[in-house]
């Protein structure tokens, strides 16, 4: 099987032009087949404010009504995605910008209302890994914005960490997949206030213990839940690292590596 690296880049890096430039240069330098999933950062909130659309957050997650869906589609699937694609082209990476709706690659359904109504937010049903594999075989590098679609033709805002995990799992049918989450921290930390307290290896048992002790909390929990799910569903390796240390992480010299 061919090797494939699936990388998710966080919104805080998207918001920092210098950090994004460094990351994309590292991404371009990776050997072999690769695929990028990006978040949206704060740009959607800024654009919404200019348009007079209120941003509503509950427990750190965006409530996506129809006006906000229009904004995130324009920003994530348009502005951010095409800026990344253009910069990768300048780095000699033949990138193709996509959402989950393009070529029917990521099908989702609207999240059911339980305690919170998240609005037009998608839970992924299916990834067409064969179609993504076709693009890779044409020497194209897919760059996914976190927008999916429904069988009835609606667009949905979708968590980028979840999208990266789902794509990595399905692509594992065709490739030996490494999934890497890049963000502004050096990995999973023993002490959230100390960026050098990186946990080099994390097992499910150690993860559970750190959650119970409160060392791992907030936004890191859904990221790790997605990561361990991918690791248990066919993905060969999962790494969480700083965006500036992508190349070192691929060579097993940085970040946190998840173990079964």
Q: What pLDDT digit, counting tens, does each position of 228-239 carry?
A: 999 999 999 999
Q: What is the mean pLDDT of the chain?
A: 93
Q: State phi, psi for 60 to the nearest 5 degrees.
A: 80, 5
Q: Which residues, 6 or more positions from 29, have their beta carbon under 8 angstroms from its beta carbon? A: 247
What does the pLDDT read at residue 190?
A: 85
Q: How many residues does the chain have?
A: 260
Q: Which of 41, 27, 103 is nearest to 72 (CA)?
A: 41
pLDDT per position in the chain (260 positions), as tens? Answer: 799 999 999 889 999 999 999 999 999 999 999 999 998 878 999 999 999 998 888 866 789 999 999 999 999 999 999 999 999 999 999 999 999 999 999 999 999 998 889 999 999 999 999 999 999 999 999 999 999 999 999 999 999 999 999 999 999 999 999 999 999 999 999 888 888 889 999 999 999 888 888 888 777 888 898 889 999 999 999 999 999 999 999 987 799 999 88
Q: Is 238 exposed, middle or buried (0-12, 13-18, 19+ CB in 10 A)?
A: buried
Known binding-site positions for substrate: 40-41, 62, 157
Three-class SS state of 249: helix
Strands 237-242 and 175-183, by their bridges, are: parallel
Per-residue model confidence (pLDDT) at position 242: 95
Domain spans of the chain, in order of start:
2-258
Burial readout 60-84 (b: 16 or more C-beta within 10 A, e: otherwise): eebbbeeebbbbbbebbbeebbebb
With H, G, I as helix, E, B as strand and everything else as coil, classify residue 234. Answer: coil
Annotated binding site: 40-41, 62, 157
**Which overall architecture, per CATH, does domain 2-258 show?**
3-Layer(aba) Sandwich (3.40)
- Provide the 3-class DSSP secondary structure of residue 193: coil
The set of residues, in sequence order, having a beta carbon less than 8 Å from that of 174 and lying 6+ positions away, is 1, 2, 4, 129, 130, 133
């Amino acid at each position: 099987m061919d090797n494939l690296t699936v990388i998710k880049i966080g919104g805080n890096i998207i918001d920092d032009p210098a950090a994004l430039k460094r990351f994309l240069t590292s991404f371009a330098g990776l050997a072999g087949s690769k695929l990028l999933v990006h978040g949206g950062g704060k740009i959607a909130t800024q654009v919404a404010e200019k348009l007079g659309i209120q941003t509503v957050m509950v427990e750190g997650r965006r409530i996506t009504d129809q006006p906000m869906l229009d904004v995130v589609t324009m920003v994530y699937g348009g502005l951010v995605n095409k800026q990344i694609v253009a910069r990768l082209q300048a780095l000699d990476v033949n990138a193709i910008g996509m959402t989950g709706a393009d070529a029917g690659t990521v099908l989702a359904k609207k999240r059911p209302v339980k305690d919170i109504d998240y609005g037009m937010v998608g839970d992924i049903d299916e990834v067409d890994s064969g179609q993504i594999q076709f693009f890779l075989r044409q020497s194209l590098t897919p760059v996914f914005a976190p927008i999916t679609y429904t069988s009835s033709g609606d667009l949905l805002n979708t968590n980028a960490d979840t999208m990266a995990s789902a794509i990595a799992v399905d692509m594992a049918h065709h490739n030996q997949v490494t999934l890497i989450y890049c963000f502004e921290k050096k990995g999973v930390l023993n002490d959230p206030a100390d960026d050098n307290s990186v946990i080099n290896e994390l097992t499910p048992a150690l993860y559970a213990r750190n959650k119970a002790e409160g060392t791992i909390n907030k936004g890191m929990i859904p990221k790790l839940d997605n990561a361990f799910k991918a690791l248990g569903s066919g993905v060969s390796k999962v790494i969480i690292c700083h965006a500036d240390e992508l190349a070192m992480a691929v060579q097993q010299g940085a970040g946190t590596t998840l173990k079964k």
